[in-house]
Chain A
Amino acid sequence: MDEQPIIQIKDVHKYFSDSIHALRGVTLDIYKGEVIMIIGPSGSGKSTLLRSINNLEEIDYGDIIVDGFSVKNHKDINKLRMEVGMVFQQFNLFPHLSVLNNIMLAQKIVRKRSEKDALKNAMILLDKVGIPDKANAFPAQLSGGQQQRVAIARALAMNPKIMLFDEPTSALDPEMIQEVLEVMIQLAREGMTMAVVSHEMGFARAAADRCILMDAGKIVEDAPKDELFTNPKEERTKLFLSKIL
């Protein structure tokens, strides 16, 4: 891959307080169409790294450039965010809006699409995530797996160039994990650039290109997924994999 990375993370530091140094010099390039899986123990900074990419966390040092927009340039932050879809562990659907309106709201007020276009797009996406029959339901009436699929559709509706997933299946009952992973795998096959924090080996096997292990705010190992899982170089990686596999 000789072209420019679509995300450039350059020596990023993040402090939550003097004593909490959540990111300690993270450098990472993500190329168009790549699916990156980020693993690591709890508290290692995975969420903070992901949330820094769309500036939900403001970084203290270094820079992140997403499709030409820097997170340091606050004027363009909403433009940057339009290009980056995010899926949260807790779904974060808007409970006062129907499924359709959840997917249409930002299309209308951020992308300035007409009601008709937004609706058409929303129905296509609901079809894609497999729940067109829930269009008029409210989030509280859906199962966790269905809610997460709506959340994915809501993010996709903005036509992002990159999708970030922060433990998208961790809050789900086991029987619902697969339906969400299938949507994500499908998305990866279609060529979406994705950064996924997850320990789901099923997804890693089916869709990941590269895998990154984080520990204590740093990237410990960054390797093609087959190498990282079968032949890890670092002791930290071996130790961590022995715990989760």
Chain B
Amino acid sequence: MLPKNNKEITNKWLNKNLPQVGELSKIDPWWGLVLIVLALIVLLLVSQPDPYQRILNFTEDGIWITLLVTLVSSVLTLVLGLFGGLGRISKNKVIYGIVSLYVEIVRGIPLLVQLLVWYFAFPAIIAQAGIKFNIPAFKNYLANPVMMAIIGISVCYAAYMSEIVRAGIESLPAGQMEAARSLGMTRLQAMQYVILPQAYRTIMPAIGNEFISILKDSSLVSVVAVSDLTRRGREFMSTTFLPIETWTMVALLYLLMTLISARIVNIVEKKTKMDK
């Protein structure tokens, strides 16, 4: 009995990435994991309100900051990545050159270092320029940590997104662009109505993965004065000296957020595939 059941379960899980018509209405087994993590968090909160309830209360605003940074960065990354991807396939050598240089540079520097540049070096450059050219607004320039963090993440992730978009466009047969152009469409019209809608379907999973990576990597912004979930966790630990409880709770909260995001991405993905 057991082996048969096991096989059924394995098959079901293996098939998870091969969506079939009507599967959307079935319940995705991975939601079970979301429920388990959620149950674990509730269990901790109910069984030991002190310290777990205290940790949650203390870090709650950090959760919102983490979600805000993730969401805004994801949207910006998508928009910048779209233009970056178009730049990477541009026939204009100047545009191609500039975008390619940007992609190569950004991909060669760790995100943490980029965030430090945006938060510490960039405002210093502005201030010095302000002194040199006597621009008062620049002299007193103060970096907004959340804004700098969002810029830092978006600029970095857009480089990777550009490559995803480029690969998605290049994966389509050349005949698609040719058919569109032969009907008199401009390159831009062909992109908008023929190429991108098709590329979107193939790159949708990769885009979703990038968003989830942004959620996780957003914890790096804690070192540039952004009071996100990670930073709030560190603050709580340093006043209470409860490392085990603090980081268990923070880790579970991140896990819950990433698991839910993964499910949402999965649903969107299946919907896109079924539209076909």
Task: Give the B-binding residues of A (Cβ under 8 A).
Answer: 54, 56, 78-79, 81-82, 84-86, 88, 90, 92-96, 105-106, 109-111, 138, 140, 151, 154-155, 158
- A82-B189 Cα distance, complex, nearest whole Å: 14
- Report A-chain residues with C-beta under 8 Å of the C-beta of B198: 94-96
- Report B-chain residues with C-beta under 8 Å of the C-beta of A151: 179
- Report A-chain residues with C-beta under 8 Å of the C-beta of B184: 78-79, 81-82, 106, 110-111, 158
Separation in Å of the A174 CB from the closest CB of chain B? 23
Can you report 30 A-B residue pairs in the complex whose CB atoms are below 8 A from each other? A54-B182, A56-B178, A56-B182, A79-B184, A81-B181, A81-B182, A81-B183, A81-B184, A85-B182, A86-B179, A86-B182, A88-B178, A92-B173, A92-B175, A92-B179, A93-B179, A94-B179, A94-B198, A96-B198, A96-B201, A105-B193, A106-B180, A106-B183, A106-B184, A110-B183, A110-B185, A138-B276, A155-B182, A155-B183, A158-B184
Number of A-B contacts (CB under 8 A): 63
Determine whether B19 belongs to the interface, using a CB cutoff of 8 Å to chain A.
no
Separation in Å of the B30 CB from the closest CB of chain A? 28
Contact status B176-A90, CB under 8 Å: no
- Decide yes or no: A94 and B194 within 8 Å by CB, A56-B178, A88-B178 being known contacts: yes
- Decide yes or no: A88 and B197 within 8 Å by CB, A82-B184, A110-B185 being known contacts: no
Given contacts A54-B182, A56-B181, A81-B182, 6 further A-B contacts (CB under 8 A): A88-B178, A92-B173, A92-B179, A94-B194, A106-B184, A110-B185
- A195-B179 Cα distance, complex, nearest whole Å: 17
Separation in Å of the A89 CB from the closest CB of chain B? 9
Chain B count of residues within 8 A CB distance of the other chain = 19
Task: Give the A-binding residues of B (Cβ under 8 A).
Answer: 173, 175-176, 178-186, 189, 193-194, 197-198, 201, 276
Contact status A78-B186, CB under 8 Å: yes
- A64-B141 Cα distance, complex, nearest whole Å: 60
- A79-B201 Cα distance, complex, nearest whole Å: 31
Contact status B176-A92, CB under 8 Å: yes
Separation in Å of the B10 CB from the closest CB of chain A? 31
Separation in Å of the A147 CB from the closest CB of chain B? 12
Q: Select from chain A the residue with minimum beta-carbon distance to B176.
A: A92
- Report B-chain residues with C-beta under 8 Å of the C-beta of A93: 179
Contact status B193-A109, CB under 8 Å: yes
- Report A-chain residues with C-beta under 8 Å of the C-beta of B173: 90, 92
4 closest A-B pairs (Cβ-Cβ)? A92-B179, A106-B183, A92-B175, A82-B184
- Report B-chain residues with C-beta under 8 Å of the C-beta of A54: 182
Q: Select from chain B the residue with minimum beta-carbon distance to A151.
A: B179
- A90-B189 Cα distance, complex, nearest whole Å: 22
- A110-B187 Cα distance, complex, nearest whole Å: 12
- Decide yes or no: A109 and B185 within 8 Å by CB, A90-B173, A95-B198 being known contacts: yes
